[in-house]
Amino acid sequence: MTLFVNHLTHLDVSLWCPTRGLVGASWQVDVELDGELGEDGMLFDFGEVKPWLKAHLDGSLDHTLLVPTRAPGVTVQECREGLAVRTTAPYPMEVRAPRQAFTLLPWHAIGAERLAEHLATELSRRPPAQVSAIRLQLRDEAVEGAAYTYSHGLKRHAGNCQRIAHGHRSRLHVWQAGRRQPALEAEWAERLADRYLVDAADLVDPDEVPQYQAGYRSLQAINYVADQGQFYLRLPAERCVILPTPTTVEQIAAWLAERIARETGQTTRVQAFEGIDKGAIAEALP
């Protein structure tokens, strides 16, 4: 007998892609559980199994940087902060952070299907009573219209959002004169796609950062201390979008509304999502 739970939880991560670089991702998690019926006619108590599953998933790779350690140009070393991950292709990047900010996988690339199988295997090592097998599916949210992926870190966040390289795949809605503006949504989703959103207060003086690899005129460096430890990131400046505020979804929505209103000369309302089914709404005058 099999029971299923759709939309059990959401996972928000960043991953290193050998062709795209640093990419944010948000996945819906669906689960199927096999087992034998008990005398009460049930496999198990959902009220007990669902929290167990969610706790394990949320406490594993959620809000981490997924690193395929066998991808070309990827190296991992111990450092003062914990671990240092460095890359060369498709562009140079360096992340130094506490170990819990990373999920290291001995693969050449990260894929949702393989990752789901890996998580199911880990969960199946010590399943709840009466559960004989666990299967997971990680799914992108179905989005009609514009969506973009981004990475960021929030140093003042008390939870795992403080990790410097976690991310999201997010919808973007823009209204002007009471109507959605699909062209503006698509334009801004493209401008923000696969970018790192930076709080200007966390930037490091470029004169203090040596060139990591020839061929790039400038590398942007970000550094901060949070409750979990010291975090450092550098990557090409063209991969960054700098905000004058922390990169919370509230501030992202406000920044987008102000920028679009100024560029178009029209009052603008923005609904910015942070992953799946959550976000903030802001409005700005031209």
Residues sharing a CB contact under 8 Å with residue 137, sequence separation 6 or more, in sequence order: 29, 30, 31, 116
Q: Which H or E element spans position 131?
A: strand 131-140
| Domain-wise residue ranges, the chain | 2-284
DSSP helix/strand/coil, 156: coil
Angle at Cα 163 formed by Cα 160 and Cα 166, nearest 5°? 95
More confident residue, 228 or 1: 228
Query: 3-17, 79-93, 209-223, 245-259: which has the minimum mean pLDDT?
Result: 209-223
Judged by DSSP in three states, 176 sits in: strand
Query: Among 33-42, 125-134, 205-214, which is the least confidently predicted range?
Result: 205-214
- Residue 272: is its pLDDT beyond 90? yes
Residue 260 has a pLDDT of 98
What span, in angstroms and rounded, lies between the C-alpha atoms of 166 and 83? 15
pTM of the model: 0.93
Q: In whole angstroms, what is the distance from residue 96 CA to residue 221 CA?
A: 11
- What pLDDT digit, counting tens, does each position of 58-78 carry? 889 999 999 999 999 999 999
Tell me the CA distances in angstroms from 60 to 17, 86, 170, 180, one per residue in order.
Answer: 20, 22, 22, 38
The C-alpha torsion from 208 through 211 and 216 to 217, rounded to 10°, is 40
Query: Within its chain, how far is the Cα of 253 from the centroid?
Result: 17
User: Using one digit for the tens of pLDDT, what is the confidence trace for 142-172?
Assistant: 999 999 999 999 999 999 999 999 999 999 9
113 has pLDDT over 50: yes
| pLDDT recorded at residue 207 | 59
Question: Which CATH number among 1.10.10.10, 3.20.20.120, 3.30.479.10, 1.10.3720.10 corresponds to the domain 2-284?
Answer: 3.30.479.10
Short-list 154, 237, 239, CA closest to 192 = 239
